Amino acid sequence: MGGFDRIIFADMLDTLSHFTDAEIPVSPDEVTVLREFFTQWATELRS
């Protein structure tokens, strides 16, 4: 049966680590905040 899979989505969020800071299209001072936000969201999706 189809539907939204939270674990798969969390795994997709984790792929942000495959990119360097320079490859993420936000200002350099926002990269850490962005990474922390998506890491926390992925953790919450898995709980």
Quick: pLDDT tens for 24-39: 999 999 999 999 999 9
31: Cα within 13 Å, side-chain hemisphere: 12
Statement: the pTM of the whole predicted model exceeds 0.95: no
Q: How far is CA 10 from the centre of its chain?
A: 7
The domain ranges of the chain are 6-46
Which tokens belong to 43?
A: 């953790």
Mean per-residue pLDDT, 2-21: 94
